[in-house]
Structure 1
């Protein structure tokens, strides 16, 4: 609030005080009118002369009503004149004190400063005072009553007073308080009057609730009452003047503000996001809710402290400067998923927050505080990242398996498909209406495909079919195996059919070739059987032997037919069937295939590599989601189990392994076993020629601040176990130390060192799932060293 100029602000402070003391000694009061606030600020003498003892600040309108009508107009003309030449010097009667006063005033800037003094009895103006005073009281919005001290008899009341107490003037005037208003005695009214008489001092009661009845309801008003002793010419106290000023509007406004503040505080306290105020340039923390206290992580005793003191870790971050800019410019700041490094309960955290810094302005448009609203969105961001990783893994698997994707919108019936399926069909766009798609299905399959899709939508919800499609431009036909499922909206209504398609043309051609070969051999066996029957007719002496041969050939024929049926059935799963038929070809017809055996072996090796690759991909996919581990497990026992599983390979390679005791950690036994088995398997596989593998495993404990700078664990902990696994193998170039942990990354040829390129990616995922990190160091020909950092429960 801006401070109004004092009447003598142009004087030195000492002279100002001496002048005011001199004026007060002579009964002259000083006052200042603040036009911006609509208030008169008075000294003690002015309060006494104006008849307001309750406050040094008087509402202008209430003060104006204490003057006569003509005097009010004269005062208003001066107060409303903004020219510096305006001044005031009048004599008027104050209706509250029943005294004549002299008002003098001059304008100083936007305010008016003045003096007030009592006019002596011998200098009073000659005028019909009593009638003017009576008229003023009758029309005043101020309640006025005069009570004689003898039995507190009502001597005078104005209409506003009678309305407040729901009495007529006839029932009050000339009657003692005990008779006219007995209910006031129980409220201590008589004691107040006695106190005024005894102390000879005015008494003020603030915001007294008065219940006024009208024609429809009871109205509650709030008044400030002044009880002022009345004296005769000899100075004796004769009674008490009661003056009540209606302050209902101010009280209601204050209560509304208080209620609003209470609602705001309740809203802040219960808000699920962190809310607090930073007050002043020093950013003092005020009104923090529990969520704010929890995020700051310094306990509840942060109120009233500067933010820099509460959160010293912000010094090396941009937020203190951002807050200072908001305070300076008055512009709001907003950011999304911003990392803030906060020490919570002694542990440094690196969570992501949505932040709003909103400036708050005072009545003069100046920033006085900043409202901070922050929401921890770390789980949301992590979930989105996991979804992205899962989608990327799925896309990788789809590409690896050379699958196509497709979907059909139920409402429009339109098909949408991937680029691979588009190329298979020879279409230009990535979507098409059913007529265009069904046109590419040969007529013998078309109706069956359409009917099965319609049936799936109407009933089972799962589609699986195998049919031929024709390239629109080249006419090339390929066999695809398609599957899909129906998706429903929140109301249970199907809205989409989506799935995948696989080109099984080569598998089906292989299947048909095998079936033709089986048929050919069956026919050959049948011909041989006929030949044997003819020989049997010619050579009766060999009849029994021929009959036995016939039975054997018949059984062989049945076995071959059964094999053809089983092979045809099992080839529905392409990879397994290719392996099975390859095994059949290798075991039964290798002598007839000639050079084809080499290609068959290559096909089998590729199939086995594909099977291992899918197995590793499944293992990797199971590790795609973060897990929380509560069980303490022994890394030493896990490694003993792994070494037992690798015992044969260790013996064959004549490897020497040195294992020192390892710590206990919280984790999953199977995942950690997979981690160590993959690393040890690599150490045994990538060994130097003519040199037996030598592997050493040991562990050390590191505190958080002791971790190497390039090590970024997935979860912050006080201490970590650093498990080192070093070998004497062929090593690798240091520039590939990060690449080796990526999926499908190989540094050597498949023929030289078999594998899928996924093993170390699985290791990295296991370590991340357990809140740790993994690094690798190596030089060609000097072996490799892997360091695994896992959180451990230790106390410094």
Structure 2
């Protein structure tokens, strides 16, 4: 059977034979606790559980004498106030009661507690109500209400501004007034107490109206000076009336009126920081009075000494008086010394609080001392902006800590402030700092404020700075966009950008406005086919849709464009390129158009054609009228044919010249782009949007130049059939091409098999034959199948007086629809490799100009075979094939 611990018997004066049964049958839980003190302290930190009766064991679910302490078994006793209740009853000796709901530590009941101290023990009686369904619902509702209330309080607390928290926590008197009327925006309790005003009489009101005592000539002039010059004003030991108590005693304060600036660096208000130094001033005055009293005492002592020399009796009296005076003076000196020490301690406390405010200020602040500008103070904000830790910064010369700024002009500015004693204010000054392993270009608004010694000499500099890189970068980015827009406006060709499925006009430069016959105001930010409804059925929408769907540029030459100029139908001829513009995910989101009006060139060429046709018709009429005059007119006909030949040559030159007409505009665009790159700052060029736009423009220029080169090559194909034929060794041509393609063949792991000995020599243009072989072999390498090794077979045979050249590969292959479009100009079916879509077109033109043919057999994912039939075979040789690895 459980036994009662001896301390319980000592505390309760019951006979032993009654106490134990009473505790066991009690329906009230009884708990006996002993206090646990902190080491070397009389403060109670916990209670041991000495005894629990049966009811207490059942409720607490603990044994009679549990191990551990109250807080180990019920850790939530602190938060619920149980521990504080027990400690209060024990320390005061006053019995008490405590009721609470305790849903913690496995217990969810409503407790009623009664406690009383008994000697060195604490006796606790408690009951617990059983949980009922109604009570559960009530408690659930109560807890939900409490949770909502707590959430609301948390939300309200979260919404309080950062400025108010800084002001409220400031260890000094602090207020912020904004605007020309200095409306009080924030004021902490310290400064409200100084003003003797409650918050409702100060906040939101002009400072000089809320606190009329601050409107005196001296204070008003100080405020106006800060607003006008942007320079802080410091007042030391300034006497101010006691507004809070109305006492006759005059308090003294150190004031700092600091300008408050907006993001543009404009002064928008004044920050007032005040530290009371009344006790320090009074202590100094008391010390001064004490010194004067000591001086008077010394003077009196001298008089007494003089009297001592005249008479011994007077000496004895004077010595007694002197001793008494010395005792009084020593007591007063000790009293004043204690007061001075207390004042110094209070001053140190105020300085420490001011230092904490310095550490928490969002403004970057540093103090530099000496000719080396050693960093004496640096708050966390400035260390973060420097990219250095406080341990690295303090007691380190500024230009040793930040060597990268040594040659950026900052030392010269600091030297000038030291030399002249005049503050230096900088706005949006750039600097380059090494932070976290990279060079960052930053922009600052800062003030170099000189620090003066009592002699008036400048001994250091206070730096106060804010970083404004984001604002400057945004402004420069806007300027770059405006400059880019100016480039488009000055471009000598027509340029437009159409975005979205409706092809909304984003860019429309003057050249394009002239072609359309519309102004920018009529076109920009409107769908293209609402701006030009007359071109809706002229095929341009289908071309744009194809560019968006395939991502392949579209190049057009001398396309007729029927538009309305001032209400009148007008037909123009244009050369243009539709180029896809991709977004960050690689999708075509817009189309750029670059166009040139070639109406005059087309009209001139058609005029030449009409003249030629007229001449031919005239000659036919003359020939039909009289065959008898054929011999007589032969000379005239020869002259006419010569003129036609010259006209055709002029026509070919005109086509060649027209293909070159685009070179000058695109060269001008390239020059303007290079000038833009030269004039833009490096930081703007590196910004993501500008860099992408410049890269797209550069690539567009390069593709346009390549297209012009291909057009020139195509125009030269007109003369390919007149190139002299030579006896050519086909095997040598193939070998030279293989040597040129060696890097590509090796990279692809290709196996090239050549069997052309039976028809290795033929009469053909060497240049054109090499072009055919090169384009067919390079196509086989480009469009190989990645799942298998590339194998290319080149063979030839004779057929009906012609040489048949076959190039077969096991690459990606083509379907029937692709084979039908294969030999078109600028046709491409794969974008994973570079190309222009002109190679096979040139092969077909060369073969047909020479009287030959080219055909293709292909199957997707099996391979492709090109068959080129060339005339003028010389001889065949029967021989076996040889393999080139």
Tell me whether the two structures share a fold, i.e. TM-score over 0.5. no
TM-score by length of 1: 0.29
Relative contact order higher in (CA < 8 Å, ≥ 6 apart) = 1
Pick the structure with more helix per residue. 2
TM-score by length of 2: 0.27
